[in-house]
Each structure stands twice: as structure tokens, then as C-alpha cells.
Amino acid sequence: MINVNKDYNFRAPPSAFPWKEALIFMMTNLQTIQKLQEIVKNKPYEYQAVEDLFEMLRIYESEDEKQAHIWNKDVCKITTQQVKLAKSDTLAEKFYYLNKKSLLFDALIDFDAYLQYIEFNREPEKRFYLPRRKKILPIVQAMQDLEDDKLDLLSISMLPCTGKTQPLDSKVLTPKGFVKMGEIKVGDVVIAGNGKYSRVIGVFSQGVKDVYRVNFSDDTSTKRCGEHLWKVQTRDDR
């Protein structure tokens, strides 16, 4: 890390900037960040440059919090990409943990970063947000807008594929009879709630979840997870 004051004059050691043997700077923090951004844009695989940029953003946060976190999102994207593109396991591991630091830096003010961070070391089959992030992100962004006072009111209805689960041995009615849910695949035809045929367009694994038995007034029952939604009616509705 290069600790830099608002205005400074220093000679960077070779280990800090491997792309130059030595450089003499007289820059503000902002100018240093812009220089590092230029280097990272051309050489995103240069780990030390990306790390130095991240550390400079942490310093710059006290001067311009909003801009520091906007630029940190670029660092997060770059580190995510470089984990996959790194030419060695050692380098991939460095980018992996820098990505974690980058998420933590944003987590206090950004809901999406927070949700990613808390699942960072969680076993894949126990993750909820990350496997569904693409579908849930619009809701998360809307909640962020609410926190940032961009919205006065937010109403949310949970999207499909976000956790409405039943056990894999639950029976699903098809034109050929009942089939276990775990055997259903994309393209199969099932009987929908309205009695009509419906083709399966997606199968989404929900991982390991707690399962509850729900008992109904007619002595029937079913098993479901805690997030499963139900449409109910009272006696007066019937």
C-alpha cells in the first residue's frame, strides 16, 4: 500500500510499481488515482496496480466518499474477472482476496455488495443470493434507492425462482400421472393450477433448506420451505 497525503512528493520503491523501476510524483490523491486507473485499464492483470488503486480509493474516501465507491465498483469487476483469467493459482488467489476486500469496502453503504460479501465464504449449496443475483438485483437496487432517499415507497412481490421450494420427492401432476419433482426437467409438460397444460421452462436448484409440513383444515398436508408463497382464502371467499 502507498500511503499518500493530499499533496506529496515521494519516490516510489520498485516493489510498489513493478511497471516502472522508479517514478517521482508530485500529485494529489485524485491525480494518483487517475494515473493508476490508466495503468489498470491497459493492464488489468497487473495485480500490484489494481491493489494500489484500491488502497488509494480507501484514502480518497475521506475526500469524496461517493466517487471513491463508484470507482471501487470497477475494482470489484476487475478482480472478479482476473480471478478467472489469472495465469497462476497464486495470482488468482490474490485477486480473489482483493475482490473480497473491495466488496467489504462497499458493504457499509451498498446493499448488493453487502449481500455478496456475507456469502463470500459460504458453501455454494448454502448460498441464497449469489445464485439468484441476476433475478433479485432489480429488487436490491430498488431497496438501495429507498435507503438513498431516491424513493419514498417501495412495494415488493417476490419473483419466480427466488426460493419457493418443495422437497425433490414432492409429486407433480403431469398428463401421464404424478412425477417426483426431482425428476422434472426443462421441456416437460405439467398440469398448472388452472388445470391447463404448462411447459417447464426452467428448473432452479434451491440447495439445502429447512422443510416444514403444512396441515390444512381438510386433514391434507404438504411440505414446503419457509419462503414458499401461498394463495389463501377465508370461508367468506369461497
Residue 158: all three cell numbers together: 417476490
Considering the domain boundaries, does residue 135 fall inside one? no
Angle of CA points 29, 59, 82, to nearest 5°? 95
**Rounded distance between C-alpha atoms, residue 92 and residue 80, angstroms:** 10
105 and 191 in a common domain:
no
Considering the domain boundaries, does residue 102 fall inside one? yes
Cα 3 to Cα 9, 26, 72, 129, 213: the distances in Å are: 12, 14, 17, 35, 58
Provide the pLDDT for residue 17: 52
Beta bridge partners of 179: 172
Considering the domain boundaries, does residue 74 fall inside one? yes
Considering the domain boundaries, does residue 165 fall inside one? no
C-alpha closest to that of 106 among 91, 117, 94? 117
Provide the pLDDT for residue 24: 42
Residue 128: all three cell numbers together: 441464497
Considering the domain boundaries, does residue 72 fall inside one? yes
Beta bridge partners of 171: 180
Considering the domain boundaries, does residue 46 fall inside one? yes
Provide the pLDDT for residue 162: 55
Among 71, 90, 109, the domain-final residue is 109
Among 69, 87, 109, the domain-final residue is 109
Provide the pLDDT for residue 166: 74
- 15: domain CATH number is 1.25.40
Whether the full predicted model's pTM is greater than 0.85, yes or no, is: no
Beta bridge partners of 198: 190
| Residue range(s) defining the domain that contains residue 189 | 171-237
Among 88, 109, 130, the domain-final residue is 109
Considering the domain boundaries, does residue 57 fall inside one? yes
For the chain, 238 residues long, give each residue's pLDDT as a single digit of tens.
Answer: 444 444 433 344 444 455 444 444 567 899 999 999 999 999 999 999 999 999 999 999 999 999 999 999 999 999 999 999 999 999 999 999 999 999 999 999 999 999 999 999 998 888 888 988 888 898 899 999 988 989 887 776 655 555 567 777 888 888 888 888 888 888 888 888 778 888 887 776 767 778 888 887 778 888 777 766 666 666 676 6
190 and 105 in a common domain:
no
3 state SS of 79:
helix
3 state SS of 129:
helix
**Total domain count for the chain?**
2
Provide the pLDDT for residue 231: 67
Sign of the C-alpha dihedral computed for residues 231, 235, 236 and 237 taken in this order? positive
Cα 98 to Cα 12, 69, 83, 105, 121: the distances in Å are: 22, 15, 10, 10, 14
